[in-house]
Each structure stands twice: as structure tokens, then as C-alpha cells.
Structure 1
Amino acid sequence: MRPFAPGPDGTILLHLTAEECRLLRDLARQLPVVLTGAEADPAVDRLLPTAYPDDADAAAEFRAFTRSGLVERKLTNAGRVAATLPDESGTTELTPEDAQAWLRTLTDLRLVLATRLGIEEDGDDGAPDELLRAVYDWLAYLQDCLLAVLEGTP
């Protein structure tokens, strides 16, 4: 069974196993730790890239005005993902707003894992960490399935 399916009235049905729910809940709860942790973390640089890499002053000014709002939106999205996961395996409905939060959080989680694995672009193998790579690939699968439902593609 695919994890996402069209639901009634524009909703999206989410179906995951209990183990998948626990893993996603744990990952969504770890994202705030990364976002509010050390700024020297390369994952933070991937999540909050420099807007003006060739102009340090403009980049610092842009960051001063936008960083807290961007971090807050990412924290809100991760919280929404954790809140919309079923407690155990089963099916739950996601609103279109929930689905957007899911897409954004899946992207953020994949960016963190890509950084940890040393993946810079498509085709990179990254570090030989089979577990992290499996989670990274599974998150890509979830994201692809959700996009297919949102786009109405089978």
C-alpha cells in the first residue's frame, strides 16, 4: 500500500505502519534540535542557505531580517507533521495545508540527512552509512508519493 492516497473533499489519506510513524515522529522532533543548535552545523547551512554568497554585508542583513521567521516556519511545519501522524499504524486524513507542511518537512529532513551523508547533488553516493541512506531514500519515496497525489498522478 502506498503511504498517500487521494481522500474525500481534497484531503489526502496517510497510511503508515507503527514503526514508520515512530521514525517520522522522532525525525520531526529532532529537526528543531538541528535548527536551534550550533550555527556551525553544516546542516543548518543547508536548511538556511546564504542569500547573497558574494556579498557578506547583504547576506548578514538579509539573515538578520529573515532567519527567525524562516526557522519558526520550519519548526511549525515539523510540529504539524508530528501532530498529524497517527499514534499507531492506521490511516489519517491530511488537509492541503498539512500536506504542504509535510512536503516542506520531508525536504528539510532530507537536507539534514544529505549533509550527514555527504550528498551534495543527485547521483552522489555519500558516506557508507546504510541506515542513514535507507532513511534518506525512504523520505524521498514518501515525498515522491505525496507529490504524485498532489499532482493527481497515479
Structure 2
Amino acid sequence: MTTPGGPPDTDEPWFVPVLALDDTQHGDGSEDDADDSDVSEVAPGTTLAWSSWAGEEQVPRRLAAAAGALALRLTEALPELSHQNPGGGERFEHAQLIAVLANALGVVVELADDRQLAGDDLARLLGATHDGAVIAAIVAEATDESAVTQQSAWLRRTGEEVHRAMWRRFHPVGDSRFRVRLRRGERALLRRVLAEQHQRLSEDGPSLAPLYPPGYGDGDDASAARSVEFSSLTKVDLTATRSSALERVQASLEDREIDAETLAVWMRTLNDVRLVMAAELDITDDEQAPPAPWSATFPAWRTYAVLGNLVHEAVLALRTQL
């Protein structure tokens, strides 16, 4: 059996949620019933289907081929494997690891061809891809085989895509409209950061500088002078526009469904908040390592990361309308 290489490197979604007619018109509250602190389980009432892009790229077939190739590799000689869970947890020996991995691969092959996944099957796929990716990574490290590394990447990426589709915040529902699925904690967080941003705009503090870049660069004194003049002519109007957009997001925060124009306002406003927070936290690169969890700045950094995810999801959702 030939291996299909590594998984596609793309932002295209592998799975899309299948919404009942009632769900596209009215919020059923399931997202608000979910535990805000743990999204590792199957989201309530979720049914997923392979996206049209995944079908065109034969992702289900390639996933099954990767899992099948790894299952075949398990029938051949392998180095002795073992794994100790962190923190003095349970230790797994070779036979246990191989048995769990073989079972996980069987589940992946079984479910890869299903057009829709829900309930127990969705939970089985999520668990199988997680367990399979962890143990396949152990096998890859022991064998130093690139093919096994690629097969492990298929399992890990599939689990990530399932999780992302289950908890995607903005679902296209037709007519350039989107269903908004925010958990209670996320809505509370947005209420707080929007109020804070409103306060910043009213105070016009130095942290707002990223929202008003120099109009003529900052190279020489003449450019600086022209930028000051440009700012004096435009800043009031720009601030008023941003305040109006912020209030529009606040007004629609509890809506279960919004149109594309409103979602675009959400995207721009939340990105403005991120720019200001980046200045306050001295974040110069999104790849910058986070502070330690016990650091005083960690809660703000985590908020910054959540906003980044929301902006990214809004961009992807709006791309579906192009």
C-alpha cells in the first residue's frame, strides 16, 4: 500500500457542520450549554460532513490510505516501545501501545468514508485520531521513518479539523448570513474587552497608536510633520468611525445570526482590540512565546490569543462569500 504523503497544508476546512433547518433560523442554545472551560468533547447536537473541498482533494481516501499504511507497518518488526504519561502517570508497554494504535487506525479507516458523522461515531473519530496521533508519534520517533511521521500528521490534523469544525463560531447559513456560536465565556470576554476598548477610545491614550499609523512614514522631520498634520485632520473622524463600529458589535453580541456586513465589522473591531493589546503587552510577533501561566500578563495574553482565533475564523467565514 502506498502512503499519501503528509496532509494538505491549507486553511480550507475539511469538515463542515450540518445544521438542521430549525438551527439555521433559531439558536438552540447548545453552544451556551457547553462547558466554557473544556471543548475536548463532542459539541452538543453536532453533525459534521466532509467539505466539498475535502471531497475534491480526496482527503477521506487519503486519510484512510495513511491509516491503512500505518496499520500494515504495525505487522512488521518494530523497536520495543513504551510510554510514560507525564507527572508520574500510567506507563504503557509495547503490546498495549500497539493494540490501542491498531484499534484507533481501524476506527479511522471505518469512519473515513462516512459522509456524515454525529454522536458516538464523531466521538469515536475524535478519540481515535487523538490516541492514534500520540502513539504514531512514538512509533515515528522509535523508527525514524518519515512515512510514519506523515501518517501521524494525518491523524493529528484530522482530529484538529474535527475539533475546529465542531466549535467554529461563524457558520454560513445562506443569503450572506452567519450563525454565531459563541460560548458563554466568550460572550462575557467580548463584553469586557469591548467596554475596555470603548474606554481607551474616549481617553485617547498612547496604546491607541497602532490604530493611527503615520500617514507619511516616520523617516525624517518633514515626514513626521506631515504625519502630525494628517492625524489632526483625520483622527477625530477615524475615532468616531471606530466607536460606531464598536457599538455595532456590542449591540449584536447576543444575536444568534448576523449578516456578512456585520461580521466584517466584528472582524475589523476585534482586530483593532488585538492591535492595542499587542502594544500594551509588547507583542511584536504572533509566533512570540506566551508568558508563563503564573505570570501577571498571562490572562491578557490568553485574551489576545482568543481574539486572534475569532478574527481568523471571521476571515475564513467571509471568504466563503467571495
Equivalent residue of 2:311, what SS?
helix
Q: Which has the higher contact order (CA 8 A, sep 6+)?
A: 1
| Aligned equivalent of 1:50, options 172, 189, 214 | 214
Q: Which amino acid aligns with 1:77?
A: A
- Show CA shifts across 1:7-42 (max 9, x none): 231111111122211210121122121122144x2x
- Quote the offset at 1:94 in angstroms: 1.2
The structure 2 residue matched to 1:11, chosen from 159, 172, 177, is 177
Whole-Å separation in 2 of the counterparts to 1:133 and 1:95: 30
- Structure 1 residue 136, shift from structure 2 partner: 0.7
| Equivalent residue in structure 1 for 2:233, among 61, 65, 74 | 65
8 Å contact from structure 1 (residues 4, 146) kept in 2:
yes
Deviations along 1:72-93, one digit per CA (max 9) or x if unpaired, are 111111111111111xxxx611
Verify the 8 A CA contact 2:170 2:313 in the aligned structure 1.
yes
Deviating runs (4+, > 4 A) in structure 1? none
**TM-score, with length taken from structure 1:** 0.86
Q: What whole-Å deviation, never above 9, does each CA across 1:60-117 have from its counterpart, x for those lacking one? A: 221121101111111111111111111xxxx611112211110111111111211121
Deviates more, 1:99-108 or 1:48-57: 48-57
Letter in 2 for 1:51: G
1: CA distance between counterparts of 2:178 and 2:215? Answer: 34
From 172, 188, 195, the equivalent of 1:22 is 188
- Alpha-carbon distance in 1 for matches of 2:169, 2:190: 13
Count of paired positions: 147
**How many angstroms apart in 2 are the aligned matches of 1:51 and 1:125?**
31
Question: Within 5 Å, which residues of 2 pair with 1:108-127?
Answer: 108-125=272-289
- In the alignment, which of 70, 74, 77 is matched to residue 242 of structure 2? 74
For the aligned residues, what is the CA RMSD? 1.8
Q: Is the 8 A contact 1:13 1:92 kept in 2?
A: yes
In the aligned structure 2, how far is the partner of 1:146 from the partner of 1:56? 35
Query: Counterpart in 2 of 1:144?
Result: 312
Gaps of 5+ in 2: 1-166
Q: Determine if contact 2:170/2:181 at 8 Å carries over to the other structure.
A: yes
SS in 2 for 1:120: coil
Query: Cα distance 1:50–1:126, how it changes in 2: closer, same or farther (>3 A)?
Result: farther
Structure 1: segments with no counterpart, 5+ residues: none
Give the superposition deviation at 1:126: 6.4
> Is 1:135 equivalent to 2:303 in the alignment?
yes
Picking from 157, 164, 168, the partner of 1:2 is: 168
CA distance in 2, matches of 1:97, 1:68: 23
Identity of aligned residues (%): 27
SS in 2 for 1:135: helix
Q: Is the 8 A contact 1:25 1:81 kept in 2?
A: no
Q: 5 Å matches for 1:86-105?
A: 86=254, 92-105=256-269
Provide the rounded CA distance (Å) in 2 between the counterparts of 1:46 and 1:76: 18
Checking the alignment, whether the CA contact within 8 Å between 2:290 and 2:298 is kept in structure 1 is no
Contact 1:29 1:79 in 2 (8 A): no
